[in-house]
């Protein structure tokens, strides 16, 4: 029995999730042990995030022109190469084959490949689903893609931790090999959909400031800041507030696991088992975020903290697929790739701006950061209610 092309796409995003989560777990401590500073290590990922933001829209447009399959494969190949290029300098320096002076630029180059080329897979995948799904099924199809990636982020540290017992490099080589398998599967089983060429549709260009694009990008950018500020502050928050607990790394790992799992469960419940309209998903999901951030700030206990994380995951599980689906439904068929690319370009914005916006607020008082996030989410609720483009495209 052959595996369908869409299943290979999901597996591809799953492999990307494997590496993305494990890279953030393993590379920073290894790099620091070999002499890099915290600022240098964070810069490696920041530069990649900038590259991702600058190229995602380009790859979305390229998938409109050259086909979803080709661009998705290119992204997986770039991601696969980036994993090898990222771990190899660490491997060489650790064995005194490469001088430590070359470590930082080598790691920047390795991660930059992911930002420049690896960013192609996501917009091409979502555009393919938009091409091949009905309006009524768009949200649930997008949710399943998101879930595939999230499953990878959960499995990455678990599987990677097991493979790490063999050698430091083994998880990266295995995850890179998985991506190559996904690329081969996509090539063999996925139709290279190309809406413009196949249907002889005259190109109607859209830009990030188009009225059917900009409202969703504003929502996505603010949501990205709220999510990234949480992810980047979790380790500090647990260490600062719950330092009387033993084994703090376990508490931090549990937080990431609970957030990912609750997001997946939420996507299944509210987009598959008991589907809701996109407008309700955005409205209720953002309201859950307000509740979660507020309780996290006001009730500083470990039990309330974990409850807030679970509720937060439910909120993200509702808002992310609804946002992608609403944006897609607002576009014409020939612009699905471009729209997905623009959305992908704002995903890294939160990680790029958190050090300058969120962390200074955290430095004053940890609670202030989560109050700040709850205020931003209140603004998003009002934005959802009053903006006509979001309301119109979210009614399905």
**What span, in angstroms and rounded, lies between the C-alpha atoms of 279 and 196?**
30
Burial class of residue 336, CB neighbours in 10 A (0-12, 13-18, 19+): buried
For 319, the token pair is 């808002």
**What span, in angstroms and rounded, lies between the C-alpha atoms of 347 and 110?**
20
SS (H, E, C) the chain: CCCCHHHHHHHHHHHHHHHHHHHHHHHHHHHHHCCCCHHHHHHHHHHHHHHHHHHHHHHHHHHHHHCHHHHHHHHHHHHHHHHHHHHHHHHHHHCCCCCHHHHHHHHHHHHHHHHHCHHHHHHHHHHHHHHHCCCCCHHHHHHHHHHHHHHHHHHHHHHHHHHHCCCCCHHHHHHHHHHHHHHHHHHHHCCCCCHHHHHCCCCCCCCCCCCCCHHHHHHHHHHHHHHHHHHHHHHHHHHHHCCCCCCHHHHHHHHHHHHHHHHHHHHHHHHHHCCCCHHHHHHHHHHHHHHHHHHHHHCCCHHHHHHHHHHHHHHHHHHHHHHHHHHHHCCCHHHHHHHHHHHHHHCCHHHHHHHHHHHHHHHHCHHHHHHHHHHHHHHHHHHHHHCHHHHHHCCC
pLDDT of residue 395: 62
Side-chain-side CA neighbours of 264 within 13 Å: the count stands at 17
Q: Answer for the pair 141, 267: CB distance below 8 angstroms, yes or no.
A: no
pLDDT reading at 201 higher than 60: no
Highest mean pLDDT among 42-56, 202-216, 305-319: 305-319
Q: Which domains does the chain have, with CATH numbers?
A: 5-191 (1.20.1250.20), 214-393 (1.20.1250.20)
For 60, the token pair is 């979305």
* 90-126 pLDDT per residue, tens: 888 888 888 888 888 999 999 999 999 999 999 999 8
**What span, in angstroms and rounded, lies between the C-alpha atoms of 136 and 349?**
30
pLDDT of residue 303: 87
pLDDT bin (cut points 50, 70, 90) of residue 83 is very high
pTM listed for this prediction: 0.82
* 274-308 pLDDT per residue, tens: 888 889 999 999 999 999 999 998 888 888 999 99
pLDDT reading at 252 higher than 80: no
For 329, the token pair is 């439904």
For 58, the token pair is 């380009």
**What span, in angstroms and rounded, lies between the C-alpha atoms of 173 and 354?**
31
pLDDT of residue 196: 53
* 174-190 pLDDT per residue, tens: 999 999 999 999 998 88
Burial class of residue 301, CB neighbours in 10 A (0-12, 13-18, 19+): exposed
pLDDT reading at 237 higher than 70: yes
What values do phi and psi take at 96, rounded to 5?
A: 60, 30
* 45-81 pLDDT per residue, tens: 888 888 998 999 899 989 988 889 999 999 999 999 9
**What span, in angstroms and rounded, lies between the C-alpha atoms of 153 and 227?**
15
Query: Minimum mean pLDDT among 14-28, 57-71, 119-133, 196-210: which range?
Result: 196-210
Return all residues near 343 (Cβ < 8 A) that are at least 6 apart: 123, 126, 216, 217, 220, 323, 324, 327
Side-chain-side CA neighbours of 191 within 13 Å: the count stands at 9
For 79, the token pair is 């991601």
Residue with tokens 């950018």: 221
pLDDT of residue 145: 86
**What span, in angstroms and rounded, lies between the C-alpha atoms of 332 and 299?**
46
Q: What number is the average pLDDT over the span 367-388?
A: 93
Q: What number is the average pLDDT over the span 230-250?
A: 77
For 72, the token pair is 């998705």
């Amino acid at each position: 029995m052959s595996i369908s092309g869409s299943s290979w796409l999901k597996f591809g995003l799953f492999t990307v999730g494997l590496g993305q989560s494990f890279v953030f777990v393993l590379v920073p401590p290894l790099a620091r042990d070999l002499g890099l500073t915290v600022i240098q290590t964070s810069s490696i990922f920041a530069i990649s995030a900038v590259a991702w933001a600058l190229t995602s829209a380009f790859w979305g447009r390229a998938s409109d022109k050259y086909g979803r399959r080709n661009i998705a494969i290119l992204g997986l190949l770039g991601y696969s190469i980036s994993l090898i290029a990222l771990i190899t300098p660490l491997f060489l320096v650790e064995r005194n084959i490469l001088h430590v002076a070359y470590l930082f630029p080598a790691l920047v180059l390795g991660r930059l490949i992911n930002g420049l080329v690896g960013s192609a897979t996501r917009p091409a995948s979502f555009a393919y689903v938009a091409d091949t799904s009905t309006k009524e099924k768009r949200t649930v199809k997008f949710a399943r893609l998101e879930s595939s990636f999230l499953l990878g982020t959960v499995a990455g540290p678990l599987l990677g931790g097991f493979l790490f017992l063999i050698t430091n490099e083994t998880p990266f080589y295995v995850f890179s090999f998985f991506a190559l398998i996904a690329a081969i599967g996509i090539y063999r089983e996925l139709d290279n959909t190309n809406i413009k060429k196949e249907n002889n549709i005259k190109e109607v260009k859209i830009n990030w400031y188009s009225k059917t694009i900009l409202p969703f990008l504003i929502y996505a950018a603010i949501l990205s800041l709220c999510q990234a500020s949480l992810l980047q502050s979790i380790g500090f928050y647990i260490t600062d507030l719950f330092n009387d607990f033993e084994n703090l790394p376990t508490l931090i790992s549990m937080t990431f696991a609970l957030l990912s799992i609750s997001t997946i469960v939420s996507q299944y419940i509210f987009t598959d088992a008991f589907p809701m309209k996109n407008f309700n998903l955005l409205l209720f999901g953002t309201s859950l975020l307000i509740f979660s951030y507020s309780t996290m700030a006001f009730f500083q206990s470990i039990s309330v903290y974990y409850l807030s994380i679970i509720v937060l995951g439910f909120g993200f599980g509702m808002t992310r697929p609804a946002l992608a689906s609403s944006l897609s439904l607002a576009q014409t068929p020939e612009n699905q790739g471009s729209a997905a690319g623009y959305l992908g370009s704002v995903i890294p914005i939160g990680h790029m701006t958190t050090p300058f916006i969120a962390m200074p607020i955290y430095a004053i008082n940890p609670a202030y950061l989560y109050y700040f996030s709850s205020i931003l989410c209140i603004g998003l609720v009002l934005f959802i209610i009053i903006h006509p483009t979001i309301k119109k495209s979210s009614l399905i």
